[in-house]
């Protein structure tokens, strides 16, 4: 379902009936429910939010009926008698915030809940203030559902932040029923004062006494008050009228808004009357028309002017004002917008979607700037189920060329049920339709990366900022854990990154400094990586299963002063290990000054004790909570795209790890090249089972998703069955991972009989994928398995595509990426023709800057003419497809005859008893080397040396190539991306002898 709005160019005409005020309706219904007797409220509001208040009050035992256009409320004399244990506020924030405290006036405990998105909306400041007043309540995470005990509050001194007026109004409405006097003091910035003025005015209208200081920061309320039954008429709703006014303001028009008796008003008339003054100052031609009984907007052509607005008093008007400003001459500035981001959605961020239509909005700090443009084009937009965002976007779309579509098309019913009728009545075609959206253009140019060179000039934190502005409520990260999945939006991610960046600055981290962290695939890994890059520091992730030896190596060579680790990981305690390492006083931790510990299960971590001399220990959660974000300090840092962004130590299949140094531009360019090569886009979602601490997960999981602006689905503990569930739950479409992940996933699908429903592409990297596995996986998973080749030093150089023929898609290691050059040479450096096997070399724009502090190794890695030596043997065909045939160091020279190791491994992998296989050389006195096959058998399978020989003979393979020893092992030693560590197998083979000599 979506809302389809067609842009128009013609004049609009018609009469519009302005509905009655929902703001007055909420307060009047609640106050009447507490009166001792019958109240009558004339001028029914049919807004769904008001209906939610009616339903909740009925759940608390209040009798509310309707007579014509009148609410008849029979109050309970300041007490509720719940008819249900749980009552819901639906999607109404006003209902929720007002009624949490008032539920304490019930005879018994009651639970307040709301629609799903409210269950992720913290109301901690309100809950703390209610507790100060003496309300007994319980909430697991400061979000609904909230259990409120039936006990009148005691009153007292209460302090609350001035962030949201609804929180303060909720306290004010409750205070007269306390058993003692209540003083409410507002701290910090006071927002939405006009709404507080309305609350106090209506309380007084119902006979309640409230004393207010002139600055509206201190309220004194006497206890034991009684509500007087009242009869009143609801005034017109300026909040709803604003959308009709804006529609008429953007077109040639002759429109009358009936029901607005005046162009001036005070808070008791409506808290949003300021919108009238703002719209008139922008040039909207509004005049009272007594004969027509309302306000007339008549013009031949819109001519709007820019405006500056302090949004503290008109926060709900920001979405529609930003729509007006989009078509105004000059730059409009909306200040103090932070609290608008705490509404039903992040409204300031949501309106940045207008940029995808051609608008120019910029959100920085606490200010939204809108530069007027001549016109817009249709687009596919998200309303985030926010009624004001939906209606504001729809009004903007009425002025766009072509069609626009909006998600959650019925959200307008929450506050203005007549909105759709209003648009059609004045001549703007708008309708709710089912089926796929039909926007004129896609969501926006930043959803698909077209030019890797241009993309490379944008750093990862800048990509994050773009997405947080354009689609703040969209999913950025899904953290899949055994105890449940956690979803983080782009806006939330940006906020967490800024907080972590401020923490790093507090720890003394400066641009260019290395930050080391040993974390599994969790949201904190993403936050910390982007935070380090935000301040120009260098990411140095460490594999989570590394022990003291490997950790010490990284710390010694990186010189990192800050290390972030888990308190527990699987059966280990990494924080204890790090502290024990530092306590030895050895060279590994000479520079280490801060160890930040992250709790495995959330909340506070278990810090090792005592702290080593010279090292400070910090709990991640507590440190973040105590950190204040200095926006000016953060924004003053502008990391260059050419600056070093990543220090990654190779896993070492041949020996000691080497520190690979990569600039930001290489990382972004690399994923942009893959995005373009595969045609990834806005509707994809990236599943990341590979360790984020390795290049596959870091680059083609986290970085790719961040650049593309799509969800990344992290899985911290590998569980194939859980993987199938997360793939389906979060609609994952793309994954790049090592062969073992592919093999495990296939087994899990075969066992449970359920395949991933949305997975389109599985790029198998890290080690050559066995062809038989790739073919079988394609059938079982119903996805395209694509071969690829890359290194930590060069990123991907070759990659097949889903449209390639199967024998090329998974029968090769991919074809050359645009901008990359591949070649095969002999041992003298001469380039070999297509089809010949030789040394595989690559020349790529994503080649690393060198090995950390090892110019000797860096020089050895390159040929005299600048090509990177991969260390692999390969065959390159005329179309640019490459097939890796082995590692140079893995070559087995049997009496002068080189054995095709990769080919023999592929052949043995096809044996029905074989689950995994690797072939290495074992020493021989006569021939120099012979081949030894290390084989992992499938469960319950049997294989001996003679059977292996019969199998190879049946495939008519030259006997000189046959392994001359079969060594059965429970598993093969692999590095984190699935490459077999053949140096370890060669060490084992030194002591082995052939089964038979041929």
Q: How many residues does the chain have?
A: 998
pLDDT class for 681, splitting at 50, 70, 90? confident
- Marked catalytic residue, from 237, 274, 313, 316: 316
pLDDT of residue 356: 82
pLDDT of residue 262: 76
Angle between helices 574-583 and 548-558 (to 10 degrees): 60
In sequence order, the β-bridge partners of residue 212 are 219
Kindly report the backbone phi and psi dihedral angles of residue 286, in degrees, each rounded to the nearest multiple of 5, phi listed first.
-100, 130
Spatial contact of 394 and 1, defined as CB atoms under 8 Å apart: no
Cα atoms found within 13 Å of the Cα of residue 300, Cβ hemisphere only: 0
Instruction: State mean pLDDT over 728-738.
Output: 93
pLDDT of residue 146: 94
Domain 22-213, what fold?
UDP-n-acetylglucosamine1-carboxyvinyl-transferase; Chain (3.65.10)
Tokens 């991972």 locate to 737
Instruction: State mean pLDDT over 763-782.
Output: 84
pLDDT of residue 46: 75
Q: Is the pLDDT of residue 176 over 90?
A: yes
Quote the CA–CA distance of 564 and 561 in Å, as a whole number.
Answer: 10
pLDDT tens-digit map of 564-594: 999 999 888 999 999 999 999 889 999 999 9
Helix (H) or strand (E) holding 956: none
Spatial contact of 81 and 60, defined as CB atoms under 8 Å apart: yes
Q: Do you find a cis peptide bond into 728, omega within 30 degrees of 0? A: no
Instruction: State mean pLDDT over 556-562.
Output: 96
pLDDT of residue 631: 87
450-680 carries CATH number 3.40.50.12780: yes
Spatial contact of 923 and 893, defined as CB atoms under 8 Å apart: no
Q: Is the pLDDT of residue 927 over 80?
A: no
pLDDT class for 551, splitting at 50, 70, 90? very high
Of 10-14, 142-146, 258-262, 328-332, the least confident: 258-262
pLDDT of residue 117: 60
Spatial contact of 236 and 263, defined as CB atoms under 8 Å apart: no
Quote the CA–CA distance of 918 and 490 in Å, as a whole number.
Answer: 43
Which residues have CB under 8 Å from 289's CB, separation 6+?
A: 256, 295, 296
Cα atoms found within 13 Å of the Cα of residue 371, Cβ hemisphere only: 5
Q: Is 369 annotated as a binding residue?
A: no
Helix (H) or strand (E) holding 928: strand 928-937
pLDDT tens-digit map of 619-646: 999 999 999 999 889 989 999 999 999 9
pLDDT of residue 265: 60
Is the whole model's pTM more than 0.75, yes or no?
Answer: no
Instruction: State mean pLDDT over 752-772.
Output: 85
Q: Is 877 a catalytic residue?
A: no
Can you read off the two tokens belonging to residue 610?
Answer: 């005592």
CATH class label, 2-16+236-433 = alpha beta
3-state percent breakdown (helix, strand, coil) of the chain, nearest 5? 35, 25, 40
Quote the CA–CA distance of 675 and 699 in Å, as a whole number.
Answer: 12
In sequence order, the β-bridge partners of residue 331 are 371
Q: Is the pLDDT of residue 267 over 60?
A: no
3-state secondary structure of 884: strand
Instruction: State mean pLDDT over 550-570.
Output: 94
Radius of gyration, CA atoms only, the chain: 33
Quote the CA–CA distance of 656 and 651 in Å, as a whole number.
Answer: 8
pLDDT class for 452, splitting at 50, 70, 90? confident
Cβ atoms within 10 A of the Cβ of 941, count?
Answer: 12
Quote the CA–CA distance of 67 and 426 in Å, as a whole number.
Answer: 31
pLDDT tens-digit map of 815-849: 999 889 999 999 899 999 999 999 999 999 999 99
Instruction: State mean pLDDT over 941-945.
Output: 94
Percent of the chain with pLDDT over 90: 63
Q: Is the pLDDT of residue 42 over 70?
A: yes
Q: Is the pLDDT of residue 522 over 70?
A: yes
Pairing of strands 308-310, 331-335: parallel
Quote the CA–CA distance of 101 and 178 in Å, as a whole number.
Answer: 11
Cβ atoms within 10 A of the Cβ of 610, count?
Answer: 9
Instruction: State mean pLDDT over 961-966.
Output: 92
Which residues have CB under 8 Å from 626's CB, separation 6+?
A: none
Closest CA to 336 of 351, 314, 359, 361: 314
Q: Is the pLDDT of residue 648 over 50?
A: yes
Which residues have CB under 8 Å from 502's CB, separation 6+?
A: 627, 628, 629, 630, 633, 634
Quote the CA–CA distance of 306 and 327 in Å, as a whole number.
Answer: 9
Instruction: State mean pLDDT over 136-145.
Output: 89
Report the Cα–Cα distance between both ends of the chain, in Å, rounded: 72
Spatial contact of 930 and 924, defined as CB atoms under 8 Å apart: yes
Q: Is 910 annotated as a binding residue?
A: no
Domain 891-998, what fold?
GMP Synthetase; Chain A, domain 3 (3.30.300)
Percent of the chain with pLDDT over 70: 95
CATH class label, 718-888 = alpha beta
pLDDT of residue 442: 35
3-state secondary structure of 337: coil
Closest CA to 432 of 390, 378, 402, 376: 390
CA distances (Å), origin 272, targets 17, 147, 160, 219, 835 = 18, 33, 23, 22, 75
Tokens 């970085």 locate to 703
Of 126-130, 581-585, 798-802, 923-927, the least confident: 923-927
3-state secondary structure of 91: coil
Closest CA to 617 of 582, 645, 648, 644: 582
pLDDT of residue 532: 98
pLDDT tens-digit map of 109-137: 999 998 776 666 678 899 999 999 999 99
pLDDT of residue 54: 95
Residue 757 is classified by DSSP as: S
pLDDT tens-digit map of 944-953: 999 999 999 8
Spatial contact of 822 and 798, defined as CB atoms under 8 Å apart: yes
Can you read off the two tokens belonging to residue 561?
Answer: 């002063």
pLDDT tens-digit map of 883-922: 988 778 777 878 666 687 877 888 899 899 999 999 999 9
Can you read off the two tokens belonging to residue 530?
Answer: 């982007």
Can you read off the two tokens belonging to residue 897?
Answer: 């005859």
Of 227-236, 265-274, 548-557, 816-825, the least confident: 265-274
Instruction: State mean pLDDT over 361-366.
Output: 82
Instruction: State mean pLDDT over 768-793.
Output: 88
pLDDT class for 997, splitting at 50, 70, 90? very low
pLDDT tens-digit map of 456-502: 989 999 999 989 988 899 999 999 987 778 999 999 999 999 999 99
Spatial contact of 631 and 646, defined as CB atoms under 8 Å apart: no
pLDDT tens-digit map of 184-200: 999 988 888 888 999 99
pLDDT tens-digit map of 651-668: 544 456 799 999 999 999
pLDDT tens-digit map of 273-311: 789 999 999 999 999 888 878 899 999 988 899 999 998
Cα atoms found within 13 Å of the Cα of residue 106, Cβ hemisphere only: 32
Cβ atoms within 10 A of the Cβ of 442, count?
Answer: 14
Residue 698 is classified by DSSP as: I
Closest CA to 252 of 5, 16, 12: 12
Identical fold between 2-16+236-433 and 22-213: yes
Spatial contact of 510 and 639, defined as CB atoms under 8 Å apart: no
Q: Is 165 annotated as a binding residue?
A: yes
Spatial contact of 865 and 843, defined as CB atoms under 8 Å apart: no
pLDDT of residue 195: 87
Query: Average pLDDT, whole number, for the chain?
Result: 89
pLDDT of residue 447: 43
Spatial contact of 29 and 49, defined as CB atoms under 8 Å apart: no
Q: Distance between alpha carbon 289 and the CA centroid of its chain, in Å?
A: 50
pLDDT of residue 444: 37
Spatial contact of 437 and 405, defined as CB atoms under 8 Å apart: yes
Quote the CA–CA distance of 888 and 824 in Å, as a whole number.
Answer: 12
Kindly report each contact of residues 980-983 with a partner whose C-beta sits within 8 Å and lies 24 or more positions away, as own/partner.
Answer: 980/653, 980/767, 980/918, 981/652, 981/653, 982/653, 982/654, 982/887, 982/889, 982/890, 982/918, 982/920, 983/653, 983/654, 983/655
Closest CA to 795 of 764, 817, 825: 817
Can you read off the two tokens belonging to residue 751?
Answer: 């066992």
Q: Do you find a cis peptide bond into 610, omega within 30 degrees of 0? A: yes
pLDDT of residue 338: 82
Q: Is 316 annotated as a binding residue?
A: yes
Pick left, alpha or beta for residue 801 (phi over 0 → left; psi -120 to 50 → alpha; otherwise beta). beta
* Domain residue ranges of the chain, discontinuous segments joined by +: 2-16+236-433, 22-213, 450-680, 718-888, 891-998
């Amino acid at each position: 379902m979506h809302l389809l709005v067609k842009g128009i160019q013609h004049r609009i005409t018609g009469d519009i009936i302005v509905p009655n005020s929902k703001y007055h309706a909420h307060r009047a219904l609640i106050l009447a429910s507490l009166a001792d007797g019958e109240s009558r409220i004339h001028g029914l509001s049919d807004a769904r939010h008001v209906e939610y208040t009616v339903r909740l009050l009925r759940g608390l035992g209040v009798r509310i009926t309707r007579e014509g256009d009148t609410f008849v409320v029979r109050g309970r004399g300041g007490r509720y008698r719940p008819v249900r244990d749980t009552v819901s506020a639906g999607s109404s924030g006003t209902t929720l915030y007002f009624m949490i405290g008032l539920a304490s006036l019930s005879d018994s405990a009651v639970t307040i809940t709301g629609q799903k998105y409210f269950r992720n909306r913290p109301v901690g400041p309100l809950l703390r203030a209610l507790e100060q007043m003496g309300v007994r309540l319980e909430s697991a995470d400061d979000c609904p559902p909230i259990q409120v005990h039936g006990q009148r509050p005691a009153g007292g001194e209460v302090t609350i932040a001035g962030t949201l007026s609804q929180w303060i109004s909720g306290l004010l409405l409750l205070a007269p029923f306390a058993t003692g006097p209540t003083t409410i003091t507002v701290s910090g910035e006071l927002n939405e004062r006009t709404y507080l003025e309305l609350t106090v005015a209506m309380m007084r209208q119902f006979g309640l006494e409230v004393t207010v200081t002139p600055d509206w920061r201190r309220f004194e309320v006497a206890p034991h008050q009684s509500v007087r039954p009242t009869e009143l008429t609801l005034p017109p709703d300026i909040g709803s009228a604003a959308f009709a006014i804006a529609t008429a303001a953007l077109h040639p028009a002759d429109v009358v808004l009936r029901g607005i008796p005046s162009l001036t008003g005070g808070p008791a008339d409506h808290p949003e009357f300021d919108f009238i003054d703002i719209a008139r100052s922008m040039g909207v031609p509004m005049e009272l028309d007594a004969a027509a009984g309302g306000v007339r907007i008549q013009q031949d052509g819109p001519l709007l002017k820019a405006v500056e607005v302090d949004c503290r008093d008109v926060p709900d008007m920001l979405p529609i004002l930003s729509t007006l400003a989009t078509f105004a001459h000059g730059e409009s500035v909306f200040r103090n917008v932070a609290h608008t981001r705490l509404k039903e959605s992040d409204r300031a961020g949501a309106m940045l979607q207008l940029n995808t239509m051609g608008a120019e909005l910029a959100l920085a700090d606490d200010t939204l700037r809108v530069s007027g443009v001549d016109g817009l084009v249709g687009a596919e937009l998200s309303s985030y189920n926010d009624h004001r965002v939906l209606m504001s976007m729809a009004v903007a779309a009425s002025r766009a060329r072509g069609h626009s579509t909006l998600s959650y098309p019925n959200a307008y019913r929450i506050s203005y049920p007549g909105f759709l009728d209003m648009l059609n009545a004045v001549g703007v075609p708008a309708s709710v339709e089912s089926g796929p959206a039909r926007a004129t253009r896609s969501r926006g140019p930043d959803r698909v990366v077209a030019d890797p060179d241009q993309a490379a000039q944008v750093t990862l934190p800048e990509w994050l900022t773009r997405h947080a502005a354009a689609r703040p409520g969209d999913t950025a990260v899904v953290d899949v854990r055994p105890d449940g999945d956690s979803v983080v939006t782009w806006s939330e991610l940006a906020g967490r990154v800024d907080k972590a960046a401020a923490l790093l600055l507090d720890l003394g981290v400066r641009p260019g400094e290395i930050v080391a962290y040993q974390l599994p695939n969790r949201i904190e890994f993403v936050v910390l990586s982007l935070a380090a890059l935000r301040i120009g520091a260098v990411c140095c992730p460490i594999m989570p299963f590394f022990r003291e030896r490997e950790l010490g190596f990284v710390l010694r060579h990186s010189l990192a002063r800050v290390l972030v680790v888990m308190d527990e990981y699987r059966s280990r305690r990494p924080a204890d290990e790090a502290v024990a390492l530092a306590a030895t006083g050895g060279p590994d931790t000479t520079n280490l000054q801060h160890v930040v510990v992250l709790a495995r299960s959330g909340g506070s971590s278990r810090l090792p004790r005592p702290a080593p001399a010279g090292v400070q220990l910090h709990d991640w959660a507590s440190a973040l909570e105590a950190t204040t974000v200095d926006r000016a300090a953060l924004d003053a840092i502008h990391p260059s795209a050419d600056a070093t962004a990543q220090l990654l130590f190779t896993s070492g299949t041949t020996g000691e790890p080497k520190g690979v140094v990569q600039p930001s531009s290489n990382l972004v360019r690399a994923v942009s090249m893959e995005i373009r090569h595969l045609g990834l886009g806005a509707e994809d979602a990236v599943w990341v089972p590979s360790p984020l601490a390795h290049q596959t997960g870091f680059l083609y999981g986290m970085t790719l998703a961040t650049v593309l602006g799509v969800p990344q689905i992290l899985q911290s503990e590998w569980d194939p069955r859980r993987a199938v569930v997360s793939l389906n739950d979060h609609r994952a479409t793309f994954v790049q991972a090592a062969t073992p992940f592919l093999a495990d996933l296939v087994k899990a699908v075969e066992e449970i009989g359920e395949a991933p429903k949305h997975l389109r592409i599985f790029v198998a990297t890290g080690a050559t994928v066995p062809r038989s596995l790739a073919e079988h996986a394609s059938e079982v998973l119903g996805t395209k398995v694509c071969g690829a080749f890359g290194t930590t030093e060069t990123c991907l150089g070759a990659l097949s595509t889903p449209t390639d023929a199967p024998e090329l898609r998974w029968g090769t290691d991919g074809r050359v990426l645009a901008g990359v050059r591949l070649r095969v040479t002999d041992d003298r450096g001469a380039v070999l023709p297509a089809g010949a096997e030789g040394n595989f070399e690559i020349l790529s724009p994503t080649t690393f800057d060198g090995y950390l502090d090892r110019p000797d190794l860096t020089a050895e890695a390159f040929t005299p003419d600048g090509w990177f030596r991969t260390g692999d043997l390969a065959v390159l065909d005329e179309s640019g497809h490459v097939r890796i045939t082995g590692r140079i160091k893995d070559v087995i020279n049997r009496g002068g005859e080189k054995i095709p190791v990769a080919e023999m491994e592929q052949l043995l992998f096809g044996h029905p008893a074989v689950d995994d296989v690797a072939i290495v050389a074992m020493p021989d006195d006569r021939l120099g080397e012979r081949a030894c096959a290390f084989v992992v058998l499938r469960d319950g399978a049997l294989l001996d040396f003679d059977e292996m020989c019969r199998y190879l003979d049946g495939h008519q393979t030259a006997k000189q190539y046959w392994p001359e020893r079969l060594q059965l092992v429970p598993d093969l030693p692999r590095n984190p991306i699935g490459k077999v560590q053949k140096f370890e197998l060669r060490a084992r083979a030194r002591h082995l002898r052939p089964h038979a000599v041929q």
